[in-house]
Amino acid sequence: FYCPVCEQVFTDPVTTPCGHNFCQACIQSKWEGTDVCQCPACDRSFPSRPEISINIAFKELADTFKQMIVCSSAAPLSSAQPGEVVCDVCAATSLQVKALKSCLVCLTSYCESHLEPHKRVVTLKLHKLMEPVKNLQDRMCKKHERLLEMFCRDEQKCVCQFCTETEHRDHKVVSVEDESTERKVIIKKSEADFQQMIQERLKKGEEIKNCLKLSTERQTEVNAEIKEKQKAVERRAEELISELQQEITELQRRNTEMEELKNTEDHLHLLQHLPSITSPPPTKEWMEINIPPELCVGTVRRALSKVERTMKRMQKYAVSVGQKTFWDLGVVKGSVNRKGMITSKPENGYWTVRLRNGDEYRALDSPSVRLPLKEKPEIVGVFTDYDEGTVSFFDVEARSHIYTFTGCLFSEKVYPFFSPGVCDEGKNKGPLIITAVNHES
């Protein structure tokens, strides 16, 4: 509402052919006595002096704006707090009053009092109002000084109506409201995707915590059993030592008596007491008594027992691959995707080893690992250890290790996976034969 020439509120505003507004008196004084008429705002020249008349609708707006500046509101005003948008009309009189709405046509923010004409004047009612924002000039096209109300999808930028008729004429253009609505749909979907990712990671974190808790509980259980076994060993040892000490005391007593009899001159006394002290006392055959193995090697037996139970919890199978030139072997989660293009890797629930072209072995880890095997395996064993989180592959006949996937988190049961591959012109026509694996393998 300010003339760019006099920098005052418009008086009898007129509009030049290039679209800029000036006071009637200001533009006439600029063009007075000149041969070439130019726009003071954009320097556009006109071949002849344009015929201009007062813009009645804009004059009403300018006059209303003047009244808002000079009038004071009877209603109490709310002072703007730091960071809040202030009323531009009040700011012109050095008052810092909180703005209630911003007008996208006037490019001005109004307090409750100065917003009243927009609720009363018919032409002002058509203006677009929004929640108060700062820097309303940033919503204007710098080139055409018009409201940025369109969005160019070709160049992904906001433009004004004039832009759509000039340099963006052949572009795909929609209103900012329509583009904003579509973007909100995308934001909503992205938000849902992020929430799902957050929940998946929270779930995985709980699984890891549960695994750690279970490991701690097992360690505590083992330590308790070791302590219990140790106490049993100590109690048994004390009992044996006590029995030994009693027998030693008795033997020493008889030894003392025999020493006395040996030196006595009383032959009758010697003959009467000798049988009672020379007969063996009731003692154990200590040379035949051993410490119970379960006491002295309890820890070892415990470890062996755990190994045996672990072997029973291991999932294992072996496949006879013979002289095939193409195959895939391993294990997969029961919930893996079975449709479309599938990439075999641990992140997708696949732990597999493959053969291509007869001698190209590769473990499909992340990243995949080339396996330079010295011998071509004919029977491949696949061992899954749920407790240790490993999947291992072995050459059964050569008893050699092929590859082990580590750090596997098995949140569900896994199943054998194998593919015999294509026929390869008859070179790969042999079948894959599943064989049993015993506990001693």
**Does one domain contain both 256 and 362?**
no
Asked whether residue 237 is assigned to any structural domain, the reply reads yes
Per-residue pLDDT reduced to its tens digit, 65-124: 777 665 544 445 567 778 888 998 888 777 888 898 988 888 889 998 888 888 888 888
Q: What is the DSSP letter of 138?
A: G
Same-domain check for residues 228 and 284: yes
pLDDT at 290: 55
Domain edge (last residue) among 46, 70, 94: 70
In a domain, 249, yes or no: yes
- Whether 286 and 326 share a structural domain: no
d(CA 207, CA 205): 5
**According to the model, what pLDDT value does residue 295 have?**
45
Mean pLDDT per block of 10 residues along the chain (441 residues) reads 84 90 91 86 88 87 74 57 85 82 86 87 86 82 84 93 91 92 91 90 87 83 85 85 84 79 77 68 61 47 50 74 93 86 89 94 92 92 89 91 91 90 86 72 47
Alpha-carbon gap, residue 147 to 126, rounded angstroms:
15
Answer yes or no: is 181 within a domain. Answer: no
Residues 238 and 324 reside in one and the same domain: no
Torsion of CA 360, 363, 364, 368, to 10 degrees: -80
| CATH number of the domain enclosing 63 | 3.30.40.10
In a domain, 148, yes or no: no
Residue 106 lies in a domain: no
Assessment of whether the complete model's pTM goes beyond 0.75: no
Q: What is the pLDDT of residue 62?
A: 83
pLDDT value at position 307? 45
Q: Which CATH number do you get for residue 383?
A: 2.60.120.920
Tokens of 336: 């893996």
Asked if 371 and 428 sit in the same domain, the reply is yes
| In a shared domain, residues 290 and 400 | no
- Angle 126-131-137 from CA coordinates, rounded to 5°: 80
Residue 379 is inside which H or E element, if any?
Answer: strand 379-385
What is the reported pLDDT for 304? 45
**Are 388 and 361 part of one and the same domain?**
yes
Same domain, 272 and 375: no
Question: What pLDDT, on the 0 to 100 scale, is given for residue 300?
Answer: 44
Residue 302 lies in a domain: no
366 and 289 in a common domain? no
In a domain, 79, yes or no: no
* 3-state secondary structure (DSSP) of residue 128: coil
> What pLDDT does residue 352 have?
96
| Structural contact between residues 319 and 434, judged by C-beta atoms closer than 8 angstroms | yes
Helices (H), ranges, 376-437? none
Give the N- to C-terminal CA distance of the chain in Å, as an integer.
92
360-363 and 369-371 beta bridge pairing: antiparallel
278 and 321 inside one domain:
no
Q: How far, in Å, CA of 301 to CA of 294, rounded? A: 7
Say yes or no: 274 and 363 in one domain.
no
Asked whether residue 326 falls in the same domain as residue 414, the answer is yes
Domain stops at, among 238, 270, 296: 296
Number of structural domains, the chain? 3
Q: Domain ends where: 70, 89, 117?
A: 70
Full domain range(s) for residue 428: 314-335+343-435
Rounded distance between C-alpha atoms, residue 162 and residue 174, angstroms: 14
**SS3 category, 133:** coil
Closest CA to 416 of 350, 360, 368, 320: 350
Task: Write the pLDDT tens digit of every residue in 347-379.
Answer: 999 999 999 999 999 999 988 999 999 899 999
pLDDT of residue 353: 96
Q: Are strands 108-110 and 150-152 parallel, antiparallel or unpaired?
A: unpaired
Is position 170 within any domain? no
